[in-house]
Amino acid sequence: MHHIAELNNTRPKQPFFFLKPPSSILLPGQGPVLRPKGVNLHYEVELGLVMGRTVRDLDPEDHKGALDAIDNEAKRKGLPWSIAKGFDTFLPISQQIAKSRIPDPHDAFLRLSVGNELRQADSTGLMLYRIPRQLADISRVMTLEPGDLVLTGTPKGVGEVKSGDVMKATIEVGGQVLEEGTIEVEVKDRDGRYEFKET
């Protein structure tokens, strides 16, 4: 809710969602986030859910068997949704975290720092919509397949990063940092002809 206030938005009446291409995923150790020319790049840390089975028209009460694993994720934003969320490397993810390591996904703590400065730190218990509702709403519109990654929303504190900045995201459960959920990635400017310009 605090992130909604940051953006001067009102709480949506239902969860909203958008698609990201697989080419936006940046696996652990695969290099920097590449910022295209003209792009105002923002960080966001989120809890990501990896689907373990095909789900269509899910009942919000029947979510437990759908998840296979959990990822910690740090993404960027700005621009129109498809462009802003879809650039190559704009979805760095952690290693998968076994479900058993996060018994209650609404009781974990996410942190994101840029350099040595903590920028985001909040509980997953503050999600606008609980995970069962998010999965139910998405699966009414489109079928979720095994391996699909569902991102659950970011806490307050979103801000800009520039080339040379290093982002580090962590997830804690019961006060313990889950090492497999740690992401550390540098931002670099992308070479090439593309340059974002307002039209």
Residues 37-70 have pLDDT tens digits of: 998 899 999 999 999 999 999 888 775 656 676 7
Q: What gap in Å lies between CA 172 and CA 30, rounded to an integer? A: 24
Asked if pLDDT for residue 177 goes beyond 80, the answer is yes
> One-letter amino acid identity for 12?
P
Tell me the β-bridge partners of 195: 37
34 neighbors 190 (Cβ within 8 angstroms): yes
pLDDT band, very low/low/confident/very high, at 154 (cuts 50, 70, 90): very high
Neighbours of 51 (CB within 10 A): 21
Buried b (16+ CB within 10 A) or exposed e, 88-97: ebbbbbbbbb
Question: What are residue 35's DSSP bridge partners?
Answer: 189
Min mean pLDDT across 18-22, 96-100, 124-128 is at 18-22
What is the pTM for the complete model shown? 0.87
Alpha helix ranges (H) inside 38-99: 81-86
Q: CA-to-CA distance for 110 and 112, rounded, in angstroms?
A: 7
For the segment(s) 23-189, the CATH number from 3.90.420.10, 3.40.630.10, 3.90.950.10, 3.90.850.10 is: 3.90.850.10
Say if residues 163 and 75 touch (Cβ distance below 8 Å): no
Look at residue 3 in the predicted model and tell me its pLDDT.
46
